[in-house]
Amino acid sequence: MSKSLPNRAEVDARFTWNSASVFPDGAGWEAAVSSVLARLPDLAEFEGHLGESPDMLADWFDAADSAQLLMGKVVVYATMSYSVDATDQTAAARADRARTIYAQLGAAMAFAVPEMIAIEFPKLREWVATSPRLKHLGHFVDRLEKLQNHVRSPEVEELLSQASDPLATALSVHSVLANTDLRFAPASGAEGEEEVAQGTIGALLTSPDRDLRRSAFESYADAHLEMRHAMAANLAAGVKRDVFYARARAYKSSLEAALEPNHIPAAVYHNVIRAFRDNLGTWHRYWRVRRQALGLSALEPFDLQARLGSSKRKVLYEEAVDWISEGVKSLGEEYVEVLRKGSLEERWVDVYPNKGKRMGAFSTGTSGTYPFIFMSYNDDIYSMSTLAHELGHSMHSYYTRKTQPYVYSSYGLFQAEVASNMHQALTRRYLLATNTDPEFQIAVIDEAMANFYRYFFIMPTLARFELQIHERVEKGIALTADDLNHLMADLISEVYGSEVEVGDRNRERIGSTWAQFHTHLYSNFYVFQYATGIAGANHLAEKVAAGDAGAVRNYLAFLKTGGSMYPLEGLKVAGVDMASPEPVASAFAAFARMVERLEELVAARPALKKP
């Protein structure tokens, strides 16, 4: 029997996120848009006056923060409606308008940073030290001083802000192609056909039905291959945007432009790549035990995410919340209470897949909204893990926004991925400690390996790919679909080694992996931070899980730092030094121990008949 997804209007409202808590309806959103636009002339009146007095500068921050806070709600609401149904043209138009207005607001504020630099830093520090209204801006001023050589004149800054809207077109076009225009053939398995969509592909690739996951893999990859030339042109435009901004701000490279504003040394990036390549043998070992666990004579690309556990036990959404709550119990009663209320009562989460819902999962929101979660829950342990991950982000945002003023209410991915992976690590530890059934243990380890697969295989591979394509564009070399596919296939094949059989047609399909990541490669050197995040979380999880009072206190303090510290300094508050290669190496060691434990469990199983 064919299984299809419901239309958005058919989804039970209990399992949709509470967009009405941001604005009651579209009219409320329009009123907010009008309010933002009406504030632009008021912001412009500050130009040329920021250096007059501490109170004038404080007035500027009050006005700018208020406008940006409202703009944040405008963007969040537009994102929410478009993400859940990319075929909704009203929602698509709203998302496009939000991007345009965001650029207009940025242009209206563009004079401020150059003007603050012109005040000169000794005077700015004096004002921060003596004015109660500016006392929280010490880190802001320090960050500004370190970046001053990359700040342009007010006129150029305004132009760069205006350019942000058209330069974002590559990402928006890719999103339309991927979430609206791609057409996937249905997957076929023992129980008939199932719909392939952005919201279902993850579940299909974990299916125990090999024919189903093979046909889902082929359908998904082939649809992207049909669009590869358009997607390659879009990605080339996105990389050229990165190179343009790097040169406009006098950085030596796109990598430097991505890392230096957060004061992350390039060595951190290269540590991840080096550790990844040094541990390829562990991946090869894992492929061997995976093949044995599945009872296959040969492992193929569509087998790499198939469930290893024999149990077909469903994990309903409410049960997943229970498991996660128990897993993070060491973080305190208040923490768990906030998490449960958000998940079960306040409707932070848009839970289930529907027609038109875009792929992936993310946490969103801004000051003044809930820390919302977008996902497509599929009643399995993998979806439970995704929920745990996104709740880690949302709890991080909850504590940051509750603690910090608006100027520090956001933080970078470098910090964010530690919080999300911490949730997964703690929940996993709880499950392994409380259920010793071998098949359940295999299922939990399989979920852990799926996490490592994404963060310690796919993301470092995309990071290597990203560095090479940026370096090519910086040298004036064109990017074509064939070049991108060959490069991606070569990088993935290196991790497969001789343990995964590919073949010519599947080589093309794995080569399209770059096209299947619809936002990540349009965010300048974003993906390597997934690996640093899982490394930092694994480094911290043991002490936190044990209820070490100091470790718990330090971790919660880290969640509250938000953007008030540089990322490496904030993580030191939690108790991990990510400037050192040790956390990444330690995480790979934990990965190797997980593979070893899986080998033991699989070896103790009755022999499987090989197909």
Residues labelled as active-site residues: 390
CA dist., res. 124 & res. 420, Å (int): 36
Q: Identify the H or E element spanning 167.
A: helix 154-167
Residues 179, 198: contact at Cβ < 8 Å?
A: yes
Cβ atoms < 10 Å from Cβ of 180: 16
Which amino acid is it at 380?
D
**Dist. CA 272–CA 531, nearest whole Å:** 7
Separation CA 50–CA 115 (nearest Å) = 7
What token pair was written down for 242? 């990165």
- No. of helices (H) and no. of strands (E), the chain: 26, 5
Amino acid present at 505 = R
CA 356 to chain centre: 20
Q: Which two tokens stand for residue 610?
A: 């090989």
Name 439's Cβ contacts closer than 8 Å, sequence gap at least 6. Answer: 309, 310, 311
Backbone angles phi, psi at 379, to 5 degrees: 60, 40
Both tokens assigned to 205: 């690739």
Contact 336, 426 (CB under 8 A): no
Other beta carbons within 10 angstroms of residue 27's beta carbon come to: 9
User: Rounded to whole angstroms, what are the CA distances from 588 to 133, 199, 283, 499, 594?
Assistant: 46, 30, 10, 19, 10
Q: How far apart are CA 432 and CA 416, in angstroms?
A: 25
